[in-house]
Structure 1
Amino acid sequence: MRNHPEDDTRRTAGLLSIGAFARRTRLSAKALRLYDRQGLLPPAYVDGATGYRYYLPAQVERARTVVLLRRLGMPLADIAAVLRLDGERAAAALDGYWADVEERHAARRTLVGYLRGRLSGRSTAMSGTFEVRTVEVPETAVIGETRHLVSDELPAWIGDSLGRLEEAAEDCGGITGPPFVIYHSDVTEESDGPAEACVPVADLDAARAWVAARGRARGLTARMEPAYRMAYVRITKAQVVYPQILAAFDAVEEWITQEGLTPAGPCREVYFAEWDGAGPEDEVCDVAFPVR
């Protein structure tokens, strides 16, 4: 049975119709319906017979916050998560989102520079973008984890695998050097490597025992990495992002050819800085090739 008109009047007293609310918030009725479905701005009352939506005046401020967050390009799911938090935690979530935006922007800026060099025919190595250096790396005991995966899967796997290996290193005499990732074959959108995450440890026997206790099904290894001469360039956090990191690999390979050297093993990335605490322009990684 339909409510009596007087009941509807009492229920909507002090509320804003969707049209009035749209004017106050500069949101279209279509946007308000979308935000209702997303749980961002549910109306205070919906007429069961007509479907008309009504809003509390207090919801205007929330709606304006949604508008401003959308202008930042924040996805609706992230906006919903921010709005569920209290003041300080919401501000911290916004800071985290914006740090990610700036990191992506820095990565795109680096990619534009790389593509400009490729399209113009200029050499990335000769343009001064990268300085190639060499260093002698001593024989090192390592524990490793090998995985076949494509480029989109690589960043998450590197963080997870190195975290697992660093935790395991506590049972292998401790960590003795920066972690690194070896690319035994190309990792791209179409090629799945494999890649091997490695952590240097002090006790090779303990590392072998650790691997034996867990079996080799997960691609776990413990071995002695031989000494080698490493040619490398140092890159920033923004430059690590695929595909612009390819410019660093190109620069080292070009330098190796110019110097009359020969690659003596697969290319690798050596992570010498704390990733989470680094900004987009902070140096975090060496892109390297063993050479002879």
Structure 2
Amino acid sequence: MDGVELLTIGEFAARSRLSPKALRLYDRLGLLTPARVDAATGYRWYRPDQVERARLVALLRQLDMPLARIAEVVVLPGERAATEVAAYWTDIEERHVVRSALAAHIRDRLSGRRTHMYEVRTVDVPEQAVLTERRHLLADELPRWIPAALGRLTGAAGECGGVAGAPFVVYHAAVSPDSDGPAEVCVPVADVAAARAYVSAATGAGRTTGVRVDPARRLAYVRITKAQVAHPQILSAFEAVEEWIAGQGLSVGGPCREVYFADWDAASASDEVCDIAFPVE
């Protein structure tokens, strides 16, 4: 390249704080392409103005950012790139908080300590018609999907006689980082005939709303705060109910559920918002 003094791969590696091995990898991935490659020997040269991008790649790798995401960041304008890095790190911090809590939960479980004692109660729930959305998804998708599905179903309930009870989420199988359920969001409604008509029309319009009649059942449950809804704290609540059922000589009569009886957005971390429940027989 006329008029431009090119850097050898060794010189460029020293300036950019990347190893020659890493530079060859980033070349193969299209992340950091040399200015010139010798066709016979495969030797690489770089322009001095590529050093800044290479240093940015090195810094992002220190954040454990995946190479595919780095490739997206380095081509963005400065402010947009900064926003993307901030979003990535916020996600990392949130995951760290969850994992830290999970480690504490596992430690307490192994040591036999109980950080919270729950009062288990029972309640008889009558038969009720419910609008539903059901989906296979992993645990990290729940915080986005549940509020969105509740919003859609609560809106639809106006055409089905109105909301007739506290909404709840049923876990028909385990939802975890490795298991995708399914989970089912349910909103009780007053008019089952209107609900069936609504669902029939919704299906024709391509929406995935369902309707069913949830039978009368007795639930054993514990009441938890908004802070305790977070994973893994919520696991101890499920376990407390299961242990109580076994201790009473009863058996679990169906899948577990979370019943949301309070205004989530208005609640503080210490406010009770949810019942963790199992049907009992």
Q: Which TM-score band applies after superposition, normalised by the shorter structure?
A: 0.7 to 0.9
- Paired with 1:64 and 1:283, the residues of 2 have a C-alpha distance of 47
* Structure 2 CA distance for partners of 1:23 and 1:248, relative to 1, 3 Å: same
Q: What is the letter of the counterpart of residue 23 of structure 1? A: A
Q: Which runs of structure 2 are paired with 1:89-108 in the superposition (5 Å)?
A: 89-108=80-99
Matched, 1:156 2:144: no
- Paired with 2:146 and 2:8, the residues of 1 have a C-alpha distance of 54
Deviation at 1:75, TM superposition (A): 0.7
Q: Which runs of structure 2 are paired with 1:30-179 in the superposition (5 Å)?
A: 30-122=21-113, 127-129=114-116, 131-132=118-119, 141-147=129-135, 149=136, 153-156=138-141, 159-160=144-145, 163=148, 166-167=151-152, 169-173=154-158, 176=163, 179=167
SS in 2 for 1:223: strand
Deviation sequence 1:221-269 (CA, Å, 0-9, x none): 243675976423335489426xx64333113334566789986754213
Contact 2:108 2:115 in 1 (8 A): no
* Structure 2 CA distance for partners of 1:16 and 1:185, relative to 1, 3 Å: closer
Deviation at 1:188, TM superposition (A): 6.2
> Runs of 5+ in structure 2 lacking a partner?
none
Match of 2:242 among 240, 244, 253: 253
Deviation at 1:102, TM superposition (A): 1.1
- Give RMSD over aligned pairs: 4.1
SS in 2 for 1:40: coil
- Paired with 1:238 and 1:160, the residues of 2 have a C-alpha distance of 15
* Structure 2 CA distance for partners of 1:219 and 1:238, relative to 1, 3 Å: closer
SS in 2 for 1:231: strand
Q: What is the letter of the counterpart of residue 151 of structure 2? A: E
* Structure 2 CA distance for partners of 1:91 and 1:31, relative to 1, 3 Å: same
* Structure 2 CA distance for partners of 1:86 and 1:201, relative to 1, 3 Å: farther
2:200 corresponds in structure 1 to 212
SS in 2 for 1:59: helix
Match of 2:18 among 14, 17, 27: 27
Deviation sequence 1:120-152 (CA, Å, 0-9, x none): 133xxxx233655769798665311345x5xx7
- Paired with 1:138 and 1:84, the residues of 2 have a C-alpha distance of 57
Q: What is the letter of the counterpart of residue 116 of structure 1? A: R
* Structure 2 CA distance for partners of 1:103 and 1:161, relative to 1, 3 Å: closer
SS in 1 for 2:158: coil
Contact 2:140 2:177 in 1 (8 A): no
* Structure 2 CA distance for partners of 1:31 and 1:78, relative to 1, 3 Å: same
Contact 1:237 1:283 in 2 (8 A): no
- Paired with 2:245 and 2:42, the residues of 1 have a C-alpha distance of 71
Deviation at 1:195, TM superposition (A): 3.2
Contact 1:179 1:270 in 2 (8 A): yes
Deviation at 1:154, TM superposition (A): 4.8
Contact 2:170 2:257 in 1 (8 A): yes
- Paired with 1:238 and 1:99, the residues of 2 have a C-alpha distance of 20
Q: What is the letter of the counterpart of residue 210 of structure 2? A: L
Deviation at 1:189, TM superposition (A): 8.1
Deviation at 1:88, TM superposition (A): 1.7
Q: Please, which moves more after superposition, 67-76 or 222-231?
A: 222-231
SS in 1 for 2:22: helix
Query: What count of residue pairs does the alignment treat as equivalent?
Result: 268
Contact 1:180 1:197 in 2 (8 A): yes
- Paired with 2:119 and 2:105, the residues of 1 have a C-alpha distance of 17
1:181 corresponds in structure 2 to 169
Contact 1:178 1:270 in 2 (8 A): yes
Matched, 1:289 2:274: no
Contact 1:207 1:222 in 2 (8 A): no
- Paired with 2:273 and 2:258, the residues of 1 have a C-alpha distance of 6
Contact 2:222 2:237 in 1 (8 A): no
- Paired with 1:262 and 1:104, the residues of 2 have a C-alpha distance of 35
Q: So what's the TM-score if we normalise by structure 1? A: 0.71
